[in-house]
C-alpha cells in the first residue's frame, strides 16, 4: 500500500543522467518496490549545459507533485538543487546532496573549463543557507570536489556533513552501484 503521508522522493541526477547501475537509479527502484512515490528528473536534450534550463526542468517536475518532497541529488544535481532552492516556494522536507562538485576551483582535464561553467551560469556556486534540512556527503578523493572545499560549502549551506571516506565521485566507475548508505540518509530526512 502506498503511504500518502510520506514525502515524494525527487532524484536529481548530474549531467550524465541516471544510468541503470547508478546508486540513484537503484535507490529509485528500491523506493518503488516499497510503493513510495519517486520522480527522477529527466535529462533535457537542448541546452544541457545551461544551468537555467536545468533548474527550470527541476521546477517543472516538482510543480507536478502534491505534498512534501525529499530531494536526492548527485554531482551537478546538487548545484541544480541549490540554484533551484534560491527561488523555490514549495515545501521541502530535506535534501541529500551527494558528491557536490566545486566549480569555483578549476576542474581536472576532461571536465568543463571555468569560462564554460561561468558562461552557462554555474558559477559562482551558491553559498546561501538552504531553507530546508540537508545532508552533504563528501568524498576524501573526489576529483571534482575536494573534501575541504565541499566541507566549507556544507557549512555555508547549513548542511550536516557526512565524511564518506575515499569513495571517488560516488559513481559506478568508483564502485557505486548499490550504495546502501543512501537509503539510510534518505530515511533520516
The confidence score (pLDDT) of residue 48 equals 80
CATH of the domain at 125: 3.40.50.1820
In 3D space, the residue among 141, 5, 10 whose CA is nearest the CA of residue 85 turns out to be: 10
Question: Is the pTM here over 0.75, yes or no?
Answer: yes
Residue 103 lies in a domain: yes
Give residue-wise pLDDT tens across range 134-184: 999 999 999 999 999 999 999 999 999 999 999 999 988 888 788 889 989
In what side-by-side order are the strands of the sheet with 38-40?
38-40, 8-12, 69-74, 92-98, 134-138, 160-163
The confidence score (pLDDT) of residue 89 equals 86
Give residue-wise pLDDT tens across range 119-145: 999 999 999 999 999 999 999 999 999
DSSP three-state, residue 44: coil
What is the average pLDDT value for the chain, to the nearest integer? 91
Q: Where are the alpha helices (DSSP H) in 50-157?
A: 51-63, 76-85, 114-119, 147-157
Residue 3 lies in a domain: no
Residue 51 lies in a domain: yes
How many structural domains comprise the chain? 1
Residue 53 lies in a domain: yes
Give residue-wise pLDDT tens across range 64-115: 999 999 999 999 999 999 999 999 888 899 999 999 999 988 888 888 899 9
List the Cα angle 67/31/29 in 5-degree steps: 130
Domain that holds residue 34: 8-188
Residue 151 lies in a domain: yes
Residue 20 lies in a domain: yes
- The pLDDT of residue 1 is above 60: no
As given in the structure block, the three cell numbers for residue 47 are: 541546452
The Cα 137–Cα 116 span in angstroms is 26
Q: Is 128 exposed, middle or buried (0-12, 13-18, 19+ CB in 10 A)?
A: exposed
What are the residues facing 38 on neighbouring strands? Answer: 9
Residue 2 lies in a domain: no
In 3D space, the residue among 137, 154, 68 whose CA is nearest the CA of residue 96 turns out to be: 137
Phi and psi torsions of 88, nearest 5°: -75, 145
The confidence score (pLDDT) of residue 120 equals 94
Amino acid at each position: 500500500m502506498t503511504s500518502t503521508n510520506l514525502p515524494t522522493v525527487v532524484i536529481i541526477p548530474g549531467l550524465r543522467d541516471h544510468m541503470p547501475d547508478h546508486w540513484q537509479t537503484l535507490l529509485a527502484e528500491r523506493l518503488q518496490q516499497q510503493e513510495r512515490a519517486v520522480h527522477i528528473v529527466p535529462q533535457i536534450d537542448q541546452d544541457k549545459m545551461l544551468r537555467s534550463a536545468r533548474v527550470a526542468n527541476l521546477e517543472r517536475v516538482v510543480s507536478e507533485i502534491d505534498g512534501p518532497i525529499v530531494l536526492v541529488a548527485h554531482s551537478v544535481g546538487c548545484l541544480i538543487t541549490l540554484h533551484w532552492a534560491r527561488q523555490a516556494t514549495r515545501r521541502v522536507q530535506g535534501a541529500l546532496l551527494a558528491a557536490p562538485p566545486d566549480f569555483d576551483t578549476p576542474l581536472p582535464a576532461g571536465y568543463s573549463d571555468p569560462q564554460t561553467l561561468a558562461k552557462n551560469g554555474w558559477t559562482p556556486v551558491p553559498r546561501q543557507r538552504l531553507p530546508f534540512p540537508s545532508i552533504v556527503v563528501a568524498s576524501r578523493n573526489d576529483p571534482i570536489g575536494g573534501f575541504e572545499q565541499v566541507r566549507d560549502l556544507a557549512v555555508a549551506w547549513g548542511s550536516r556533513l557526512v565524511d564518506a571516506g575515499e569513495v571517488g565521485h560516488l559513481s559506478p566507475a568508483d564502485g557505486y552501484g548499490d550504495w546502501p548508505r543512501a537509503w539510510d540518509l534518505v530515511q533520516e530526512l
